[in-house]
Amino acid sequence: MGYAPGDDPVLAEPLFLAEQAPGGFWAAPSAPRGWVPGTELSLRGPLGRGFRLPAEMRRLALVALDAGVERLLPLIAPALAQNAAMALFTDAPLPPLPSVLEAFPLEELPVALSWADFLALDVPLPALPELLSRLGAGDDQPLPVAGQVLVRAAMPCAGVGACGVCALPVRRGWKLACSDGPVFDLGDL
């Protein structure tokens, strides 16, 4: 979470680390218009839980629904460290990608479910009810692969968990993206 001087610190902007470099970082999504290079930011966090790739994973499918792929790019380095093969599924415009990452349109995703042994998804909160059908599975059948889902939701309370704007239904009740997530196990949703 971050905000610039003059912004309302109560309504912080969620930022996701897309790349870290000496002397700075690249965040996803793009910074708000008022944030220009050199703007001093106050950062809170990290908040909640991020992706946790299983040690035994050998084939990773990265899936970006309805947005860019930037929030999934930090998974490339740990997947490479595990000698995992990777494929990206999205209909979003692609930034420059490393040659080890194959990219496919979302229509090819059902085929990947038999190939991958782990899914990492980036999904907006309103798309959760249709997630299983978009993955090519029915409501009554489990997915053939494990995975985790980054649920993109507004987090105006900046992780305090007091406002409930980021609440999402899970198998047993409700969870908050700001404090319980924003990454959840696919089987829990």
pLDDT per 10-residue tile (average), the chain, 189 residues: 49 67 64 73 75 94 89 91 95 90 91 90 88 70 84 76 81 86 87
**Is 39 among the domain residues?**
no
Distance CA 177, CA 159 (A): 8
Tell me the residue type at 151.
V
- Residues 152, 63: one domain? yes
Q: Can you tell me which residue has the tokens 């924003």?
A: 182
Is 62 within 8 Å of 88 (Cβ atoms)? yes
Give residue 154's domain range: 59-188
Residue 54 covered by a domain = no
pLDDT score of 164: 82
Q: How many domains does the chain have?
A: 2
Residue 155 corresponds to which amino acid? M
Scanning the structure block, which residue is given the tokens 């987090």?
155
The answer to whether the pTM exceeds 0.85 is: no
Residues 72 and 88: beta-carbon distance below 8 Å? yes
- For residue 1, the model assigns a pLDDT of 46
Has residue 70 been placed in a domain?
A: yes
Please indicate, yes or no, whether residues 68 and 131 belong to a single structural domain of this protein: yes
- pLDDT for residue 92: 92
HSE of 86, CA atoms in CB hemisphere, 13 A: 24
Give the separation between CA 26 and CA 90, rounded to whole angstroms: 21
Q: Is residue 96 part of a domain?
A: yes
| Residue 144 covered by a domain | yes
Question: How many angstroms separate the CA atoms of 53 and 85, rounded?
Answer: 13
Predicted local confidence at residue 137, as pLDDT: 66
In a domain, 42, yes or no: no
Answer whether residue 26 is part of any domain: yes
Distance, CA of 166 to CA of 185 (rounded, Å): 16
User: What was the pLDDT predicted at 3?
Assistant: 47
Same domain for 28 and 120, yes or no, is no
Residue 53: inside a domain, yes or no? no
Q: Is residue 6 located within the same domain as residue 87?
A: no
* Residues 71 and 151 grouped into a single domain: yes
Please check whether residues 170 and 83 belong to one and the same domain: yes
Residues 25 and 65 in one domain: no
